[in-house]
């Protein structure tokens, strides 16, 4: 049985999954999934970004701040609107703390992040790479006005995010509109 607090990992990239840690962001009752430092630790672990030091309350606040910064950049990219200079500067500040990959015994390796800030920096860097790279054209925003989650859609055919609830609501609304239009004829 779903509580609505389950993490989503179907956005196509870790940074997009971070956006999904707050559901129905534009509705009357948003769903916050990062409710505690322990939940942030769980989410980071599931993304293979578990830091050596467990997240603290300030780390949780930072994760939420980064999430909303990236959300504004993603929505601007999808709509073609100019991105906020403050959001770009904030995301760049976050990304600056990302560690580099290393070659260890001929294998490309990345060490576990030491802190939540380093884990979030990696996410910010991924977001900026995607928002400025070729995949930016594959970003789509869910058509449900209370959701508007941004996700990757390589096919270019999706109207709703991978959430069955959004697709269901959208299809029901479309069916009602078609019936209403047919009744007027």
Q: How far apart are CA 149 and CA 143, in angstroms?
A: 9
- The verdict on residue 132 lying in a domain is yes
Q: How far apart are CA 115 and CA 128, in angstroms?
A: 20
The helix/strand/coil state of 110 is coil
**Structural contact between residues 131 and 13, judged by C-beta atoms closer than 8 angstroms:** no
- The verdict on residue 60 lying in a domain is yes
State the pLDDT at residue 164: 65
Burial class (CB in 10 A: 0-12, 13-18, 19+), 110: middle
Could you tell me the two tokens for 112? 């576990």
Phi, psi of 60, rounded to the nearest 5 degrees: -60, -45
- The verdict on residue 35 lying in a domain is yes
**DSSP-H helix ranges across 36-108:** 37-46, 57-79, 85-95
pTM to 2 decimal places: 0.86
Q: What is the CA radius of gyration of the chain?
A: 18
Q: How far apart are CA 72 and CA 68, in angstroms?
A: 6
Chunked into runs of 10 residues, the chain (185 residues) has average pLDDT values of: 80 96 90 97 96 96 98 97 97 88 74 92 96 95 88 85 68 71 81
- The verdict on residue 4 lying in a domain is no
**Overall domain count for the chain:** 1
Residue 48 falls in which region: left (phi positive, over 0), alpha (psi -120 to 50) or beta: left
- The verdict on residue 2 lying in a domain is no
State the pLDDT at residue 40: 98
CATH of the domain at 101: 1.10.3300.10
Which structural domain, as residue segments, surrounds residue 90?
14-183
- The verdict on residue 114 lying in a domain is yes
- The verdict on residue 1 lying in a domain is no
Could you tell me the two tokens for 88? 């770009």
- The verdict on residue 158 lying in a domain is yes
Burial class (CB in 10 A: 0-12, 13-18, 19+), 134: exposed
Length, in residues, of the chain = 185
Q: How far apart are CA 119 and CA 126, in angstroms?
A: 11
């Amino acid at each position: 049985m779903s509580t609505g607090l389950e993490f989503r990992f179907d956005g196509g990239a870790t940074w997009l999954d971070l956006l999904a840690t707050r559901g129905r962001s534009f509705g009357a009752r948003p769903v916050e999934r990062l409710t505690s430092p322990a939940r942030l630790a769980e989410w980071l672990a599931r993304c293979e970004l578990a830091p050596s030091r467990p997240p603290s309350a300030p780390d949780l606040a930072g994760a939420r701040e980064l999430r909303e910064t990236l959300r504004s950049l993603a929505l601007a990219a999808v709509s073609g609107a100019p991105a906020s200079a403050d959001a770009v500067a904030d995301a760049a500040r976050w990304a600056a703390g990302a560690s580099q990959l290393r070659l260890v015994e001929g294998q490309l390796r990345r060490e576990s992040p030491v802190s939540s800030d380093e884990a979030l920096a990696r996410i910010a860097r991924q977001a900026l790479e995607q928002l400025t790279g070729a995949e930016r054209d594959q970003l789509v925003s869910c058509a449900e006005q209370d959701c508007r989650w941004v996700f990757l859609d390589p096919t270019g055919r999706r109207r709703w995010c991978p959430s069955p609830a959004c697709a269901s609501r959208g299809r029901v609304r479309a069916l009602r509109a078609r019936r209403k239009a047919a009744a007027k004829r």
